[in-house]
Amino acid sequence: MAEEDNLREKGAALELDSACSEEDEVTLVPMVQSDSEDVDDGDFESEVFSTSEVVQYMMDCIEEVNSVLQLPVTITRMLLQYFQWDEEKLMEKFYDSGDSDELFKAAGIAKPPIVEADFFLSDTTIGVCDICLLTEQMFGWQCGHRFCLGCWDQYLTTKIMEDGKGQSIPCPASACDVLLDDLTVMKLVKDSRVRLRHQHLITNSFVQCNRQLKWCPAPDCNFCIKLDDPGPRSVQCQCGHIFCFRCVRSYHEPVPCALLNKWNRHYQKYSYFIMHTKQCPKCGGLIEKSGGCNYVKCKYSGCNAEFCWICLRLTHFHFKGCNRFKEEEKGQVGTVGLRYTFFCKRFLSHSQSRKLESGLYEVIWNQKNDHSVTSIEVQYLTKAVDILLACRTVLMHAFVFAFYVRDKNGQVAIFEENQRDLEAATECLSECLERLISSYGSESTDMADLKQKVKDKLMYCNTRKDVLLQHAREGEDNDWWEFDE
């Protein structure tokens, strides 16, 4: 059952719809990419944290700083938050400013006592609340403002649940910017769901400020990745999702994050013209049909050519004969559109192939249920599909890279040669692997020979992928690459 679940998860992760539930008993585990080594992230150490482990990691950071500052824990947390969890900057300001009162004031913190005090128990009295004007049990904060417990609860609930405030909730008094500490908030809020949300907001803020931490972007996944050397590296979550640690999008090497943004904008700019326009068969001008009639006239630069919109044949009396299939290129937006379409089609082709090949996981699972393959063979075939899909992903983004890169030193030719080798190797692997998987249970097929072919092509394909990525990284380190604006 574990193998079946694993195969199902792999297929689901490809569509970013895996459902990962965070459990408190999950322990800190090394980031495992799978036996297939389908993602090469260099030699950087990564770890996967559950939400509870992120909280513990945050508390460890607080305790480390507090061992020097000797302040109440929640106050230290608020100071770290003020300095965006930059421990060195906090230490520097705390000891070099010479005026801790000014530091606390700037952070919105009333100067704390030397030891933790229970204000909730010691500072409650009966009085008239300035918010609801009722005589109730009151609670006063360090700034001196007092309100009833019900108004405190309602105020904090609104701030947490509606405003999304967790780490910087001020006193509700007008013009008072003194912040409440975490312990006080947790005591004043009655609803456990609100308290949990408050803790999540604080934890999320900690992750956002820590450059070594990133939440997994997969839907419903509550795991967090810690990377010792953060950068544009691919990481794999415990849920199976692979993403770029820098931009938190799906794995996209060798394309830099900024270049992928540009590609997406380019697609938005030209996709309409690629899908809804054609070039005049006479002058090549871009034509957009404004009416329903398929008999059109080009008005581009005085061309006046009349042609059939469906088949693009030049004729004045052409009203039939267009039902026979003939593949025509869509109209392009000049040279840029023509070049973009060339690379876009190849990007989409590998994307579609990857989507279809991801179905091999389900085929393997079904064959295991039919007892056509052994558990060892399931592991081997799964590894092969892992590598095949990883190669497809690299090829997809290699065409994006090639679309923008300029050849200023001859390195682009090497990149394109690596790309051609990887593309050819990937197609050969895909063909042999599909034949092998579909041949299980067939007595007529020479399985031993087919398995050896897949093994050889698997190793070669993985090697070509690594060569392409290593060359791209080497180019980034040596400033070989220059991209079109």
Q: Which helix (H) or strand (E) holds 449?
A: helix 447-477
* Residue pair 146/127 in contact by the 8 Å Cβ criterion: yes
Tokens linked to 449 = 């020979």
One-letter identity of residue 482: E
Nearest-angstrom CA–CA distance, 31 and 41: 11
SS3 at position 271:
helix
* Residue pair 367/419 in contact by the 8 Å Cβ criterion: no
Q: Where are the alpha helices (DSSP H) in 277-359?
A: 334-357
Nearest Cα to Cα of residue 435 among 363, 354, 346, 370: 363
Neighbours of 407 (CB within 10 A): 12
Nearest-angstrom CA–CA distance, 439 and 441: 6
Catalytic choice (221, 244, 293, 428): 293
Nearest-angstrom CA–CA distance, 49 and 60: 14
Tokens linked to 54 = 């992120």
One-letter identity of residue 337: G
Q: 295 - beta bridge partners? A: 308
One-letter identity of residue 374: T
Q: Which helix (H) or strand (E) holds 71?
A: none
Clarify whether 293 is annotated catalytic. Answer: yes
Catalytic annotation, residues: 293
